[in-house]
Amino acid sequence: MARAGESHLPDVIGALRHASAYAHPAGDIELIQTHISCVLLAGQYAYKVKKPLSLGFLDYSTLERRRAMCEEEVRLNRRLCPEAYLGVVPIVRAGASYLVGGEGDAVEYAVQMRRMPHDRMMPALLAAGRVSADDVRRVARRIAEFHGSSETDGRIAAFGRAEAIRRNWEENFGQAAPFAGDTIDASALGEVRAYVDALLRTQRPLIELRADAGRVRDCHGDLRSDSVVLHEDGRICVMDCIEFNDRIRYGDVAGDVAFMAMDLEYRGRRDLADEFLGAYMGAALDETIGVMLPFYTCYRAFVRGKVESMESAEAEVPASEREAAAARARAYFALARRYAVARRDPLAVMMVGLSGSGKSHLARALAARTGAALVVSDAVRKELSGVAAGKRLDAAYGEGAYTSAERDRVYLEMLDRATAHLAAGRRVVLDATHIARADRDRVSAVAHERGVPLLAVVVEASEDAVRRHFAARTEDAEQPSDARIDVYRAQRARYQPPDEVDARRTVRVDGAAPLATNVPLVLAAIS
């Protein structure tokens, strides 16, 4: 957002920079501009006024349309931040001036918001080094909960199908074209287009399957750190969802998740992006979201590049801010290109480790980072047993769903799914203990049959670390695993550790180490 002076501003916005326009103490009023809105910070409130624009992807061209969009903004944003969005207020003419919320015919409308503490906004916390892995994991679980309860139906699903996605890309390519040679190289534009065309061709069946499965929902649409408030009491507020265009807000949940991950990476915090993605995947139990994440991170980076390019060309924005916007656009477009040209040849990653070792958290982050499907033994076991993902299986280790026969059934189903993903040209991460050599041999056979590389990631942890892991898991009702310390000990007694007899590539990691340590280790082994 750009802070602006009063040149090039409509009369009504200039008038709202004076305290006399408000019925409450306003103090020194600050104006902040985006490419589509003017936000006035007045005392303990903020007022967002939409610019009278028609840009193809949004229409604020008439007063009635702006009023309707203000009301829609309040309705939608109260889903994730009810304390901030107070309502819609008219702006009326009073002689030669204007009043906010006054009597008379409205000449403009504004969204009235309660101002959030700036020092609790995620960008400020990131700049101060005060955002922890636990913070972003809490945000991820909140977003997974939101997605799980947000609206979906056949009409909404249509916005996440392949042809709708292609139309969105074509619109963005067209809107970015005027900036080729300035904020984006023509060659980079071609590389992104080639990547998009290839993915829409090769993964079209998966895109349609995700739409059929309810993975396309009424999302946030603009999920990045600028929108997140981390209150000191632990509450999470997520503001500024897209209200002006259903086809931007309606989409695969992967698009929302990818936006936050891309934003964190843009800000130099790839470690927090990994934590965010891993936590979301653990809460959402979405087997194929990892396959789509690179595509949507590319999309989100490209869109941000386009938006910043547009701001760099706005006459009412001060020259210094236009130059800064152009620099940001170049950085976003460069990030989009990097996502587009990364190699993602078919690959199988097999996790090996006892329950509680931390292998699942690492597996989720690896699937997200490498663009892989994630097949999880605990989730498959519950599907086969007819138990909801959020419920625990009522059986002791070695009994019920944990007998040898049931265990074999789970592993065979996992192998079938892995085979299907590899056959479709996807990467796959298999998250199970694989404590028996025979289990690992079966995975090796599948990889050999499909002609793809196999990497075994052996996750090791002390019993003390395992105890701490289980203690944390007990407090998290969204974890799909039912394992506890007695299960860990029973598995340890049966464990056949990988050694030189295992004819496969192996990397060993400390399960107690952070993702920032372990993910690069595994990626190095993959490359």
If asked whether residues 111 and 124 sit together in one domain, one would say: no
Whether residues 337 and 313 share a domain: the answer is: yes
Pair 255, 277 in one domain: yes
Do 307 and 419 belong to one domain? no
Q: What is the CA radius of gyration of the chain?
A: 25
Q: Using the predicted structure, report yes or no on whether residue 19 has a pLDDT greater than 50.
A: yes
Query: Which residue segment(s) compose the domain that 357 sits in?
Result: 348-526
Which of 301, 322, 341 is the last residue in one of the domains?
341
Is 15 in contact with 92 (CB distance < 8 Å)?
Answer: no
CATH of the domain at 149: 3.90.1200
120-159 confidence digits (pLDDT tens): 999 999 999 999 999 999 999 999 999 999 999 999 999 9
Question: What CATH number does residue 404 fall under?
Answer: 3.40.50.300
Q: Which of 273, 271, 262 minimizes the C-alpha distance to 299?
A: 262
Phi and psi torsions of 99, nearest 5°: -125, 140
Q: What is the pLDDT of residues 335-392, one digit of tens each?
A: 999 999 998 999 999 999 999 999 999 999 999 999 999 999 999 998 998 876 666 6
Q: Do 212 and 298 sit in the same domain of this protein? A: yes
Q: Answer with the one of 293, 323, 341 that is the final residue of a domain.
A: 341
Are 10 and 149 part of one and the same domain? no
| Shared-domain flag, residues 298 and 442 | no
Q: Are residues 279 and 195 in the same domain?
A: yes
Q: Of 291, 312, 341, which residue sits at a domain end?
A: 341
The per-residue pLDDT for 466 is: 87
Number of folded domains that form the chain:
3
In angstroms, the CA 334 to CA 311 distance is 18
User: In the prediction, which pLDDT does 68 show?
Assistant: 97
CA 373 and chain centroid, separation: 16
Residue-level pLDDT at 483: 59
Residue 194 and residue 87 share a domain:
no
Strand 505-510 relative to strand 427-431, pairing: unpaired
Instruction: Specify whether the CB–CB gap between 262 and 301 falls below 8 A.
Output: yes
pLDDT of 6 reads 43
DSSP state string for 434-453: --SHHHHHHHHHHHHHHT--
**Looking at the structure, do residues 443 and 332 belong to the same domain, yes or no?**
no
Do 451 and 421 share a structural domain? yes
* Whether residue 106 sits in one domain with residue 73: yes
